Amino acid sequence: MRILYFYFFAVLFSETLMAQKTTQQPAEFTTSSFRDTVRFHIQVSEDSATERHLWLFGDGRISELNTPVHVYDECGVYKVKHFRIKLDKDGAVVRTDSFFTDVKTACPMVCDVKPSFKWQQYKYDPLTEQLLGGTTVLFTNTTPGGLPKGAKFNWYVDGQSYSRLWDPRIDFPNGGHFTVCLQITLPNGCETQYCARINVADL
């Protein structure tokens, strides 16, 4: 077994041995995953009793199982290598094939953003030097910590999409009561929103 382990790591770290002893080709294994857990599948050959396997998961960890299940600590893309080692009846290595592919793990569904906003029906606008009045309402996004990179947001009025601006100004022609929602969609697909019932006076 010591000889076999030595050969494994010699193959991994010696370019000369890699060129002479191994053939590298696209993956002959398949994967199935759920979030951070990936299961690796291979087709077991008839002479599986004289085969050994070595998996490099791309995160510094390895396995010698035929069909391992691996849990990644962080989401991302990892370059996975699978070494299939052929042995003769005496246990000597006669051939090594290496296969590789990229494996992408999903990020955990984390919903740690809490949308919030405040509103004011009229306010002095320093850009236009005008007093906003009538039925125009200025909404101010007050979500704590702002938005994470890649997040998207949308404003809804009574269920209808209205604006994607950070601080939109919305006109309610005849005043009245309305339900306004700020929805935030995170890069991992999580959606969270905050809604408020507002009364717009017909000034």
- Give me the domains of the chain, ranges plus CATH numbers: 2-105 (2.60.40.10), 117-200 (2.60.40.10)
**pLDDT (average), residues 146-159:** 84
Q: How confident is the model over 53-103, as pLDDT tens digits?
A: 899 999 999 999 888 999 887 778 899 999 988 888 888 888 888 888 888
Q: Provide long-range contacts, Cβ within 8 A and 24+ apart, for 89-93.
A: 89/50, 91/4, 93/4, 93/7, 93/21
**pLDDT (average), residues 99-128:** 78
For the beta carbon of residue 116, count every other beta carbon within 10 angstroms.
13
CA distance 137 to 134: 9
Q: What is the DSSP letter of 48?
A: G
**pLDDT (average), residues 18-22:** 39
pTM listed for this prediction: 0.46
The number of angstroms, rounded, from the C-alpha of 136 to the middle of its chain's C-alpha atoms is 39
Token representation of residue 94: 């006669």
Between 143 and 126, name the one with better pLDDT: 143
Task: Tell me which range, 42-51, 96-105, 142-151, is most confidently predicted by mean pLDDT.
Answer: 96-105
Q: How confident is the model over 175-186, as pLDDT tens digits?
A: 889 999 999 988
Token representation of residue 85: 């080692």
Token representation of residue 189: 């697909």
Q: What is the pLDDT, as a whole number, of residue 4?
A: 45
72-89: buried (b, 16+ CB within 10 Å) or exposed (e) per residue? beeeeebebbbbbbebee
